[in-house]
Structure 1
């Protein structure tokens, strides 16, 4: 395990049950809201995976893991990413919140010993999606948007659910298009999001 993670894990009693350990890891590091959100997204990922013939177990695990980097304060994320030898894009440097997906991917592998590359890749693009996204990428992306971590109902939820009835790609594109229509109000346009938008726009 990378030494940067040692202070985050020393208070956690790891049981070997991943769901329990992720919940305890987040709760022990003062992120109980994120712990609840990750379990919710795990359940929603499982539900969506079953609908679209994806692996429900992999989807659920990806959901549990996707926001584990919430334990790292926003102002420290760029420095942590560089220490972990993660490529930092200019958009991520400008808006560090967005790099949490890449840090969560490394933490999933390093702390929770996840070796399934499909799970790791889905965790690593769950905020922005990416070009050539897999079914599992899209499952987690959509589940995270349905079970968003803010108060109240997501403003895009009715369109997303309606489009999800057509296909998983339609559901994913629905959310990206919601952002695209408001891109002037966004702090940055992540290049992965732009690539996913352009690719899915043609497909759907």
Structure 2
């Protein structure tokens, strides 16, 4: 299985400092913008975890790790996922960007030695969330949306931050509902996002 990572691991040695290791791994993999994004998401996840009563150190770790699969371009992600034994859904095959969350989960475990299931699970659903999501899943999900990796200001950010003052669940729903209201414009609607939207809507309304 680790042969999948052969090119990415060439010249890479872990020091035991996860933050620095992830940053170097991504820069070495020619993804400096993603490296900066992951550092910001780690810091934001730690901040939200403190507010929500979750473990801030674990949240920071999840934030650092969530996009490490960026070292694989979109046109390789389905092949990599299959080589790793990851189930690829039709929506992911149609829009490979989304499968990166599952690949990042595997890489966090295989390359960075993460064994904490709460960290791995949060990394594995940070883009779409999922039904029956944990507090920790939502911490990373919301942190990633606040520190988004696109240009400009996120169009949903005002509402999301306002809802975060109410609760973490309200903040997560604010983003998912933003997408849901525009689902006809999305390339795909991932089933995990669909299920998370329905569940949070029931819970909050």
1:78 is aligned to 2:71? no
User: 2-side partners of 1:90 and 1:52: how far apart?
Assistant: 34
* Aligned residue pairs, count: 204
User: 2-side partners of 1:57 and 1:15: how far apart?
Assistant: 18
Which SS does the other structure have where 1:98 is aligned? helix
Q: How does 1:22-101 map to 2 (within 5 A)?
A: 22-101=22-101
**TM superposition shift of 1:11:** 2.1
Q: How does 1:1-204 map to 2 (within 5 A)?
A: 2-204=2-204
User: 2-side partners of 1:80 and 1:14: how far apart?
Assistant: 22
TM-score, normalised by the number of residues in structure 1: 0.99
**TM superposition shift of 1:199:** 0.1
Gaps in structure 2 of 5+ consecutive residues:
none
**TM superposition shift of 1:203:** 1.1
User: Residue 14 of structure 2 contacts residue 112 of structure 2 at CA under 8 Å; is this kept in 1?
Assistant: no
User: 2-side partners of 1:150 and 1:33: how far apart?
Assistant: 10
User: 1-side partners of 2:63 and 2:18: how far apart?
Assistant: 12
User: Residue 77 of structure 2 contacts residue 99 of structure 2 at CA under 8 Å; is this kept in 1?
Assistant: yes
Gaps in structure 1 of 5+ consecutive residues:
none
User: 1-side partners of 2:45 and 2:28: how far apart?
Assistant: 24
**TM superposition shift of 1:14:** 2.4
RMSD, matched Cα: 0.7
Return structure 1 stretches of 4+ with deviation > 6 angstroms.
none
User: 2-side partners of 1:178 and 1:68: how far apart?
Assistant: 26
User: 1-side partners of 2:2 and 2:117: how far apart?
Assistant: 19
TM-score, normalised by the number of residues in structure 2: 0.98
